[in-house]
Amino acid sequence: MPSKHQVSLLALAGLAAAAPSKLRKREALPDYAITYAPLSYLYSGESWFPSDVTVHLANVKPEVDYVAIGANNSVTLDTLDSYASDVYLTASDGPIYDPLDGTPAWLSSDYGIPDSDGLSAAPGLIIAAEKNSTTTDVFYFYFYSYNYGGKVLDINFDDHVGDWEHVMIRFVDKKPYAIYCSEHSAGSAYYWDILDFSGDRPLTYIAYGGHANYVTSGTHDYTVALGLISDTTDAGYLWDMTLNYRGYWYDVDSEEFSVASGAGKGATEEADESADWLAWLGYWGDEQYPDSLIDDLETGQYCIDDECRYSSGPTGPADKNLGRSTMCQKDDCTIFDNIDDLTKQS
């Protein structure tokens, strides 16, 4: 018969063996990640609001090559990382989403409309990544169940289910150094001192529909294959992500995520969750319809050159170069040292 001491050791060993990596927890996020967090404004005419990833998952099914896979055709934060990276989280009540008519409620996510304090019921995500002894990058991830792509010459393009955007602040010796804002497939970086602030916190503006992030309000033009698109921002709905978020650490060497502190509903939900879902490299929306369904009445899909009305859903945080050494997600980039030259038309 084992001694009392041995029993407790055996029990401990059993626990460790059974322990899922969900027990991978680290200390709270650094204070500066919250003190200097962006205060963001959604556009006053926005129709596609912040979404809770768990609500999103409850409304999609995993598909590969347009065929549902997996147990019960369902996926949760706990099972997400068990799926391969060729999986598309496809809307269960698809395929038609006319952005202006008959959109399912979970896609427009009215529950995520921030209240007058800037509190959204949809938790944001704050992920800290320590780069070395002096530099830590803090990523603020914004998730929406739907991306309304906007219009070129009055024709709507690039709608998709699922939309991940982010702002990153680089801290050197715990002080903010510069900020990066994701804008469509790229983004821009700006030195800290040139931003507009409310107290210690920089103001960012989230464009209508496609949710690109900017540091000035007004109209921002960018070019796509077919021509010019304008992003519209204004100080519509204040969204203060620090009131409701899931917090994580990202280890640059092991590429693993750990649970840190959160706040509000995000913290409550996160307490029972694994961080492993963040490592999943698949797609958060439907796959772009196959060519055989272009101009098909049921899908409503059309394409001009390579630009289509409905495109594939995006990949998640793990695919956004969290280990970057430069400020920008892709390659090297200029860090703007003046925001007065940026387009401000309204």
Ligand X SMILES: *[C@@H]1O[C@H](CO)[C@@H](O)[C@H](O)[C@H]1NC(C)=O
List of residues contacting ligand X (CB under 6 A): 71-72, 74, 131-132, 134-135, 325
- Smallest gap from Cβ 9 to ligand X, in A, equals 33
- Smallest gap from Cβ 137 to ligand X, in A, equals 8
**Both structure tokens of 98:** 């006319």
- Spell 126-154 as b/e; 16+ CB within 10 A means b: bbbbbbeeeebbbbbbbbbbbbbbbebee
Q: Between residues 167 and 212, which has the closer beta carbon with respect to ligand X?
A: 167
* CA dist., res. 84 & res. 64, Å (int): 9
* CA dist., res. 283 & res. 295, Å (int): 24
Q: Between residues 80 and 121, which has the closer beta carbon with respect to ligand X?
A: 80
Hey, what amino acid is at 148?
Y
Q: Between residues 295 and 337, which has the closer beta carbon with respect to ligand X?
A: 337
Q: Between residues 74 and 103, which has the closer beta carbon with respect to ligand X?
A: 74
Closest-CA residue to 243 (of 222, 223, 227, 267): 267
Instruction: Mention every residue, 6+ apart, whose C-beta is less than 8 A from residue 329.
Output: 180, 182, 186, 187, 320, 321
**Cβ distance 21 to 117 under 8 Å?**
no
Q: Between residues 252 and 267, which has the closer beta carbon with respect to ligand X?
A: 252
Q: Between residues 63 and 158, which has the closer beta carbon with respect to ligand X?
A: 63
Reduce the DSSP state of residue 239 to 3 states and report it.
Answer: strand
- Smallest gap from Cβ 171 to ligand X, in A, equals 11
- Smallest gap from Cβ 188 to ligand X, in A, equals 18
- Smallest gap from Cβ 25 to ligand X, in A, equals 25
- Smallest gap from Cβ 319 to ligand X, in A, equals 19
